[in-house]
Chain A
């Protein structure tokens, strides 16, 4: 199955942002926007759901903290109690200040790494993946707005031209979305 999309190309992020709002206001479905850098407010203008990565990150941090607590307790107290600097070695609670740096680092380690991995999984990225950019110059200085076409091609093209696109072209694409 193949579908038709329109690619509108812009050379300014402000113009793009206004275009996105106009297209949204005219009730067209924006498939995707390709930009060379993050544009502030674009996610809101496109109506994307707010990111939940912060919640995920918090949970990963808690996971890291729990694992670190278990780890330090097992290594330093249960399995092979070690007497360092005369500190009581059979009680986790009385030793906890010594472990705080470990707990802290493990929390950060888990939160950071798992967050990046989650982000990759969620946005379907992996090493050696072929880039999905329809146009190479969106990695340089152009902004590309991709709109799905039903049977309103002409209207859509004129709308996009009005929003300040420097180029508008219709594009056949294989249904992979």
Chain B
């Protein structure tokens, strides 16, 4: 319990400052934001005020149909100039631009909320894999993982609230939710049986409830095992984890179509679920490693040795390469076949997001590959932290590249909305994680495999 109290102290010291900062930044955005709707703060009163502004514009949804002209034009003419539409589109183009600008704080909030929820979800999946495989080495890290997955509940609720707000037409993140757009768009009409607001929200609720139930019971059994002499809870956790993994891989894949791929309702990629999974799991392992090293540097988790860090480093390295493999597979097939409705996805990214798009590949592949290739570096905390920062930022940009081009188009930048929402959710994430870490002893002493983990040497 002393250990717990110290961790709580750390949590309070490190987290609230960032939350405060984030709040300050967010309110700054209200003051200075050129478009006056920087309401990405989930708990501000300004929320209402901000929305009223946007509600005014919601009758101009038809302009979103333009989006698709846009993309097709780009595909055929290979032109990045919006003037290519000719004069007739000039007026609606302005409104389209307005919507893109209005989307910015929403998209930034949605992105950050989703990103941190996915870290927690990825850690939960990694944890379930360890449970289902009955791994011996990782037992000492279980409490760290459980601490991080504590963010899943608040994180997924925030994402769900944002989705509901989208469903209520308070923003234009998902064009297919807009009846006006759909009326002029046959492709989306054909997808209506899947992409409609009630079914969409029902699915979201189904995923979220499923994940959180697993998280709740696995944590409960894990704590119960501490004071139990038998291995009953361990076995229960094993069975639960195996079941969850089946549920997870299906729902994760569907979640990636629903929440990420559908912002581009015309585009599709059959390996998108895997691609998002790879991004999620590599960030998750990286966060586990960073939190572990942080706690270790504070004198907690003494029994975690270099070999544990080494193994996490191997996972970081391996999943980075795995991510690149999927990224490239998706890119190359679409690039090669060059089908207009598929290839627009990469054309917008390469033309409007060139530096980000390729910079992200460098950050997520080249740098981790070179930094983490040497096996001695994987045992070095400093290298792991450095590589970890690069990987987490790189994957934030990866998700940025998935969400932004469809929602804000070429109006992207890193302004107060993006930085504010990112730091707000970072603060919230750290606060929740470290307070959860403080609630239970960091060593799962009742686990039947804890000794093996303690003596783990590679």
A167 to B336, CA, bound (A): 68
- Taking Cβ atoms with an 8 Å cutoff, the residues of A that contact B are 40, 54, 58, 85-87, 97-98, 100-101
Contact check, A97 vs B336: say whether CB atoms are below 8 A apart: yes
Contact check, B338 vs A98: say whether CB atoms are below 8 A apart: no
- At the interface, yes or no: B199 with Cβ under 8 Å from chain A? no
Binds A, one of B18-26, B84-92, B134-142, B327-335: B327-335
A86 to B336, CA, bound (A): 9
Task: Please name all residues of chain A whose beta carbon is closer than 8 Å to the beta carbon of B373 when the two chains form the complex.
Answer: 58
- Taking Cβ atoms with an 8 Å cutoff, the residues of B that contact A are 328, 331-332, 335-338, 373-375, 457
On whether A97 and B337 interact (CB within 8 A), knowing A54-B375, A58-B373, the answer reads no
A87 to B457, CA, bound (A): 52
Contact check, A98 vs B328: say whether CB atoms are below 8 A apart: no
Of A40, A54, A58, A97, which one neighbours B335 at CB under 8 angstroms? A97
A110 to B303, CA, bound (A): 41
**Smallest beta-carbon distance A154→chain B, Å:** 37
**Smallest beta-carbon distance A65→chain B, Å:** 13
Of B336, B374, B457, which one neighbours A98 at CB under 8 angstroms? B336
Task: Please name all residues of chain A whose beta carbon is closer than 8 Å to the beta carbon of B338 when the two chains form the complex.
Answer: 85-86
Of A58, A85, A86, A100, which one neighbours B328 at CB under 8 angstroms? A100
A89 to B336, CA, bound (A): 13
Contact check, A85 vs B336: say whether CB atoms are below 8 A apart: yes
**Smallest beta-carbon distance B167→chain A, Å:** 38
A100 to B331, CA, bound (A): 11
Contact check, A97 vs B332: say whether CB atoms are below 8 A apart: yes
Contact check, A98 vs B375: say whether CB atoms are below 8 A apart: no
Of B331, B337, B374, which one neighbours A85 at CB under 8 angstroms? B337
Task: Please name all residues of chain A whose beta carbon is closer than 8 Å to the beta carbon of B375 when the two chains form the complex.
Answer: 54
Task: Please name all residues of chain A whose beta carbon is closer than 8 Å to the beta carbon of B337 when the two chains form the complex.
Answer: 85
* Closest B residue, CB atoms, query A101: B332
A101 to B336, CA, bound (A): 13
* Closest A residue, CB atoms, query B333: A97
**Smallest beta-carbon distance A149→chain B, Å:** 34
Task: Please name all residues of chain B whose beta carbon is closer than 8 Å to the beta carbon of A97 when the two chains form the complex.
Answer: 328, 331-332, 335-336
A40 to B456, CA, bound (A): 12
Of A40, A54, A98, which one neighbours B332 at CB under 8 angstroms? A98
Which one of A40, A54, A87, A97 has the highest number of Cβ atoms from chain B below 10 Å of its Cβ? A97
**Smallest beta-carbon distance B220→chain A, Å:** 37
Pairs across A and B, CB under 8 Å, 11 listed:
A40-B457, A85-B337, A85-B338, A87-B336, A97-B331, A97-B332, A97-B336, A98-B332, A98-B336, A100-B328, A101-B332
A86 to B343, CA, bound (A): 14
Task: Please name all residues of chain A whose beta carbon is closer than 8 Å to the beta carbon of B328 when the two chains form the complex.
Answer: 97, 100
A97 to B329, CA, bound (A): 10
**Smallest beta-carbon distance A143→chain B, Å:** 20
Task: Please name all residues of chain B whose beta carbon is closer than 8 Å to the beta carbon of A101 when the two chains form the complex.
Answer: 332
Task: Please name all residues of chain A whose beta carbon is closer than 8 Å to the beta carbon of B332 when the two chains form the complex.
Answer: 97-98, 100-101
Task: Please name all residues of chain B whose beta carbon is closer than 8 Å to the beta carbon of A86 when the two chains form the complex.
Answer: 338
* Closest B residue, CB atoms, query A50: B376
Task: Please name all residues of chain B whose beta carbon is closer than 8 Å to the beta carbon of A87 when the two chains form the complex.
Answer: 336
A6 to B395, CA, bound (A): 59
A159 to B240, CA, bound (A): 54
A55 to B4, CA, bound (A): 44
Task: Please name all residues of chain B whose beta carbon is closer than 8 Å to the beta carbon of A100 when the two chains form the complex.
Answer: 328, 332
Task: Please name all residues of chain B whose beta carbon is closer than 8 Å to the beta carbon of A85 when the two chains form the complex.
Answer: 336-338
Task: Name the 9 nearest CB pairs between A and B, nearest first.
Answer: A97-B332, A97-B335, A85-B336, A100-B328, A98-B336, A85-B338, A100-B332, A97-B331, A86-B338
**Smallest beta-carbon distance A165→chain B, Å:** 25
* Closest B residue, CB atoms, query A84: B336
A127 to B23, CA, bound (A): 71
Task: Please name all residues of chain A whose beta carbon is closer than 8 Å to the beta carbon of B336 when the two chains form the complex.
Answer: 85, 87, 97-98
A101 to B374, CA, bound (A): 24
Task: Please name all residues of chain A whose beta carbon is closer than 8 Å to the beta carbon of B335 when the two chains form the complex.
Answer: 97
**Smallest beta-carbon distance A99→chain B, Å:** 10
A86 to B337, CA, bound (A): 10
**Smallest beta-carbon distance A153→chain B, Å:** 36
A40 to B458, CA, bound (A): 8
Task: Please name all residues of chain B whose beta carbon is closer than 8 Å to the beta carbon of A40 when the two chains form the complex.
Answer: 457
16 additional A-B residue pairs with CB within 8 Å, beyond A87-B336, A98-B332, A101-B332: A40-B457, A54-B374, A54-B375, A58-B373, A85-B336, A85-B337, A85-B338, A86-B338, A97-B328, A97-B331, A97-B332, A97-B335, A97-B336, A98-B336, A100-B328, A100-B332
* Closest A residue, CB atoms, query B325: A104
A163 to B335, CA, bound (A): 66
A101 to B335, CA, bound (A): 14
Task: Please name all residues of chain A whose beta carbon is closer than 8 Å to the beta carbon of B374 when the two chains form the complex.
Answer: 54
A40 to B335, CA, bound (A): 47
Task: Please name all residues of chain B whose beta carbon is closer than 8 Å to the beta carbon of A58 when the two chains form the complex.
Answer: 373
A117 to B336, CA, bound (A): 37
A87 to B335, CA, bound (A): 10
A58 to B338, CA, bound (A): 35
* Closest A residue, CB atoms, query B334: A97
**Smallest beta-carbon distance A56→chain B, Å:** 14
Task: Please name all residues of chain B whose beta carbon is closer than 8 Å to the beta carbon of A98 when the two chains form the complex.
Answer: 332, 336
* Closest A residue, CB atoms, query B374: A54
Task: Please name all residues of chain A whose beta carbon is closer than 8 Å to the beta carbon of B457 when the two chains form the complex.
Answer: 40
A21 to B28, CA, bound (A): 66
**Smallest beta-carbon distance B343→chain A, Å:** 12
**Smallest beta-carbon distance B60→chain A, Å:** 39
**Smallest beta-carbon distance A100→chain B, Å:** 6
**Smallest beta-carbon distance A13→chain B, Å:** 15
* Closest A residue, CB atoms, query B331: A97
